[in-house]
Amino acid sequence: MNTKRFFLVGLILSLIFVGACSKPAKGKLPAEIKNSYRQDVNGWVFVHLEGTAREVGFQNGYHLAAEIDDALQMFGYFLEKATGHDWAFYREAASRMFWPKVDPEYQEEIQGIVDGLKAKLPGRTYDVIDLTALNGWIELAWYYVPHLAEKASPGAGDNKSPSYCSGFIATGSYTEDGKIVMAHNNWVDYIVGQRWNIIIDLTPATGQRILMDSFPGYIHSGDDFVINGAGIIYTETTMSMYKGFNETGTPEFVRARRAAQYAASIDDFIRLMSEGNNGAYANDWLVGDLKTNEIARLELGLKNRQVWRTSDGYYVGANFPCDPKVIAEETTYKPDDPDLTVNVRKTRWETLMEDNKGMINAETAMIFEADHIDASTGQLTPNGKTLCGHVDADPKGLPEFIWTPFYPAGSVQAKVTTSKLAGELKLWARKGHPCGQDFIAADFFTAHPEYAWMDKFLKDMKAFPWTLFEAKK
């Protein structure tokens, strides 16, 4: 390890705080709350959920009632401004296309969330359709809406699916102990991402135990950092410049939850994610099996699917597709365009992986996710081209998506795990920019009054220390 790298590791370790999620004392609670609890730690809300589908749903809704209520109000406002469609539009689409495709088990869980929320906040009128639309908002806003535009006027679909997230998975000769290391940071609009602060420890009545980050009201992770009791871990980054949607398919959030709960191998994961694929939230999935030390990349478009697997190597994600057929038939991505932000981040990932071969561990993964090197210039310049994204500091915005100059978006949190940690159902997580910078809303709106319409729901986004979370003993 060179001196500079050693210093960086020491610096990041000095910021780490280990959060022990012990079970707090309870007062008088509804019967459904038994064996569950909530704990607030370093900007995160950790919830342990346990029981039948309805019970874990009720626990979710009860413990996170205030956060779910806030999220639904925010989306009702934000999506109308951002997409031109009001919440009634999203409810209709979710009711018609998504709810009938939700497995009965997850319908019970969603109903439980509604019941738990209303038990905690009497007078709220939310129903299962609101929660279904909430779980599938990315699919509806960024895939279904362009699909409708394409149907109405061929060519109108803009091939600008989200350029969300930076992540990697590595194994074999690339890691310090030869075992798997996985890391991911979540890119999204800050108005949404400041609320992406849930850690769920879920013990369902059937299937595998799950430890994952999540969003209020979700039955899945959403930005997809998942560990299950069978030793399957996975994350993803979206394919940008992609267009595709099948109205009769199964929502991505349902397939992702199935994979989290029921996959016991990489083959299981590929099958569960592929069955009924609706093409929405099209991702490059990075998955590992702790039992075999094998990792894989599943690139899942609507028309094409490609899989790569290895026991000695790495896969990185920064919103670029890899398969020539996916690129040619389903995207407008240009692999050789040096100006594309996704290509700049791809170059930076590959450099980090090769320069740190044999040394990658949890600490280096934290450093990678906080990286501010713009590979197009070689400069230390946090912007929309760096792994730790700061689109709000970028005069170009992120043209691959719809984020205009200085748009308030970028990395909002990060997670890291290793074979050893994941085998014990543990992960590191950092709320806020993984680099540690704070986003101060008042300062931002003063500098960029063009985004003042977000002021109602966009607040400060403070960076907290790295925190170790583990499943309840």
**Can you read off the two tokens belonging to residue 215?**
């969003």
Cβ(114)–Cβ(62) under 8 Å? no
pTM metric for this prediction: 0.94
Rounded-to-integer distance, Cα 201 and Cα 210, Å: 6
User: Residue 1 above 60 pLDDT?
Assistant: no
User: CA–CA separation, 320 vs 341, rounded Å?
Assistant: 10
Residue pLDDT, tens place only, 121-131: 999 999 999 99
Single-letter code of the amino acid located at 194: Q
Predicted local confidence at residue 27, as pLDDT: 55
- Phi then psi for residue 110, to 5 deg, are -65, -40
Q: Distance between CA atoms of 54 and 113, rounded to whole angstroms?
A: 8
Could you read off the pLDDT of 389-419 as tens digits, one per residue? 999 999 999 999 999 999 999 999 999 999 9
* Closest alpha carbon to 373 in 352, 353, 403: 352
What structural domains and CATH numbers belong to the chain?
166-470 (3.60.60.20)
pLDDT tens per residue, range 28-41: 789 999 999 999 99
Q: Say how far residue 347 (Cα) sits from the centre of its chain.
A: 22
Q: Residues 6 or more apart from 219 whose CB is under 8 A from it? A: 57, 60, 106, 109, 110, 113, 135, 253, 257
Collapsing DSSP to helix, strand or coil, 262 comes out as: helix
Average pLDDT over residues 108-137: 98
Q: Write out pLDDT tens, residues 311-339.
A: 999 999 999 999 999 999 999 999 999 99
Angle, vertex CA 122, rays to CA 117 and CA 127, nearest 5: 50
- Residue closest to 417 by CA, chosen among 346, 467, 349, 358: 467
Q: How far apart are CA 359 and CA 356, in angstroms?
A: 5
* Cβ pair 406, 449 in contact under 8 A: no
Phi and psi at residue 13, to the nearest 5°: -65, -30
For residue range 138-152, list pLDDT tens digits in order: 999 999 999 999 998
Residue at 150: amino acid letter: E
- Residue 69 amino acid letter: D
Q: Which residues of 382-400 are buried (b: 16+ CB within 10 A; e: fewer)?
A: bbbbbbbbbbbbbeebbeb
Residues 205, 210, 215, 221: what is their CA dihedral angle, to the nearest 10 degrees?
Answer: -110
User: Of 140, 178, 163, which Cα lies nearest the Cα of 358?
Assistant: 178
Q: How far apart are CA 190 and CA 428, in angstroms?
A: 21
What is the helix (H) or strand (E) element at residue 308, kind and residue range? Answer: strand 305-310
**Residue 159's pLDDT band (cuts 50, 70, 90):** confident
Q: Is 31 helix (H, G, I), strand (E, B) or coil?
A: helix
